[in-house]
Amino acid sequence: MSDTPETENRISDDVLAGYLHNHVVAANSGEHLIEEAAKAWTGTPYGPTMTRLTDEIKEDSEELQRIVETLGMKVPVHKQAISWVGEQASKLAPLNPSHGSAGHHPQLELESLISAVTGKSLLWETLQLLAEEDGRIDAAQMERLHVRAVEQIGALTGIMRATAKARFRNEAIKGP
């Protein structure tokens, strides 16, 4: 069957669904990664920021799930299984097994979080662009979520910059 002018320029539901499903899987792992990372920062000056980020990232993950459901793009069972495995792996905190704030492990953990949130910001930006052609996607909502992701990147980067030198001197970040 050939594409008609009406369908050849339309956003493909199959492509969009695959894209969103992969982000749902990543969001589930990211949610648990930030929960584990926040443990390392409890009792430090950065603990409240990490707690706020944990709450926001969980909200963002739930928001993504609502968007997928609203679009009628249920995550296939095999990707749900992959998501569950990712959640379990992130609970093991392989990047920072001791939940400490000194040494290279928390540095890798922060870098991974920054990368994950950057991916999320690009998701929201992509959906904002697609909203121009797909009225089911709320451009204003995507803009709000994108701005929040950029702020989250800034907060994580700020923690990383403020604490990196001490970490590489193998000093634990202490509370006030």
pLDDT tens track of the chain, all 176 residues?
A: 444 445 556 889 999 999 999 999 899 888 888 988 898 889 999 999 999 999 999 999 999 999 999 999 876 665 555 655 566 555 555 655 555 555 667 788 899 999 999 999 999 999 999 999 999 999 999 999 999 999 999 999 999 999 999 888 877 666 55
What are the residue boundaries of the structural domains of the chain, listed by start? 12-168
Tell me yes or no: is domain 12-168 CATH 1.10.8. Answer: no
- What pLDDT does 122 receive? 98
- What pLDDT does 166 receive? 87
Q: How far is CA 37 from CA 43, 70, 73, 107, in A?
A: 13, 31, 31, 10
- What pLDDT does 136 receive? 94
- What pLDDT does 15 receive? 94
- What pLDDT does 125 receive? 98
Contact between 119 and 26 (Cβ < 8 Å): yes
CA dihedral 127, 149, 17, 64 (to 10 degrees): -110
Task: Map tokens 């993950």 to a residue.
Answer: 61
- Taking residue 87's Cβ as centre, other Cβ atoms within 10 Å add up to 16
- What pLDDT does 58 receive? 96
- What pLDDT does 114 receive? 97
The reported pTM is 0.83
How many residues would you count in the chain?
176
